[in-house]
């Protein structure tokens, strides 16, 4: 499988950690950049190729990659201005070699079975399949509403929910179904693609009960310091 990682985030909510000199994916967790753990996970999932979409302070990412060895091939695209999540995916797809491409956020970790998501995606001929995580007593995330047949019905704005599914930032995308849409060079994948085209009923959600963390806020970044001691001994 081939994977795009969105690694161009500015990390404005983590400035106390990154000091504006590091992209979010390079925020240190127990002496290693967050990207180290994401790559370790991808190696365990037998990913063949990774395309990084980089932007802010990309030199720190590329220098780190050149100093290390990985079990998969790595390529990258350079955003010279912020393209939004959708624009970054669209840009990175120019270097993809597969028809169905995995997409991950560079500041989240969801330890789901990527091959299971891939099979799920192909079986349903989905335009996009999303890895979902059930959460309880939450309000930080929007919710994903799915039917009994796993079709994504709608996306709800952030609000308190006693229980529900969230978008865990793991996507399997049909490259041609995505590229045939008339989309600008800069756009939000979540707003301009997922929410705009959800009514076509070609998006599917697969729930996994695996560890999930988003280091986008200092509280969860600090939680990662403790969690990763056990997860990545």
Reported as a single tens digit per residue, the pLDDT across 145-183 is: 999 999 999 999 999 999 999 999 999 999 999 999 999
Token pair in block for residue 219: 């509280």
| Beta-bridge partner residues of 76 | 52
Give CA–CA dist 204/174, Å, rounded. 12
> Percentage of the chain surpassing pLDDT 70?
95
Q: What is the pLDDT of residues 27-86, one digit of tens each?
A: 999 999 999 999 999 999 999 999 999 998 899 999 999 999 999 999 999 999 999 999
Q: Which of 207, 116, 125 is closest to 174 using CA atoms?
A: 125
**DSSP E strands: which ranges in the chain?**
2-7, 28-29, 32-33, 49-54, 73-78, 100-105, 108-110, 128-138, 143-146, 152-156, 161-174, 203-207, 212-214
pLDDT value for 57: 87
Contacts of 231 (CB under 8 A, 6+ apart): 37, 111, 211
CATH architecture for the domain at 2-132+167-231: Alpha-Beta Complex (3.90)
Give CA–CA dist 232/81, Å, rounded. 34
Give CA–CA dist 76/134, Å, rounded. 32
Q: What is the pLDDT of residues 204-224, one digit of tens each?
A: 999 999 999 999 888 999 999
């Amino acid at each position: 499988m081939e994977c795009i990682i969105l690694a161009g985030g500015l990390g404005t909510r983590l400035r106390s950690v990154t000091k504006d000199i590091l992209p979010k994916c390079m925020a240190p967790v127990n002496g290693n950049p967050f990207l180290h753990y994401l790559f370790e996970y991808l190696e365990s999932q037998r990913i063949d190729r990774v395309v990084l979409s980089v932007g802010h302070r990309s030199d720190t990412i590329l220098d780190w990659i050149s100093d290390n060895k990985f079990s998969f091939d790595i390529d990258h695209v350079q955003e010279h201005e912020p393209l939004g999540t959708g624009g970054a995916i669209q840009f990175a797809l120019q270097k993809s070699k597969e028809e169905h491409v995995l997409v991950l956020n560079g500041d989240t970790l969801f330890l789901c079975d990527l091959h299971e998501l891939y099979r799920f995606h192909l079986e349903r001929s989905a335009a996009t399949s999303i890895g979902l995580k059930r959460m309880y007593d939450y309000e930080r995330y929007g919710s994903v509403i799915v039917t009994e047949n796993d079709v994504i019905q709608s996306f709800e704005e952030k609000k308190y929910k006693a229980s529900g599914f969230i978008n865990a930032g793991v996507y399997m995308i049909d490259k041609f179904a995505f590229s045939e849409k008339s989309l600008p060079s800069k756009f939000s994948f979540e707003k301009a693609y997922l929410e705009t085209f959800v009514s076509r009923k070609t998006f599917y959600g697969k729930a996994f009960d695996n560890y999930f963390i988003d280091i986008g806020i200092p509280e969860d970044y600090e939680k990662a310091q403790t969690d990763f001691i056990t997860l990545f001994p």
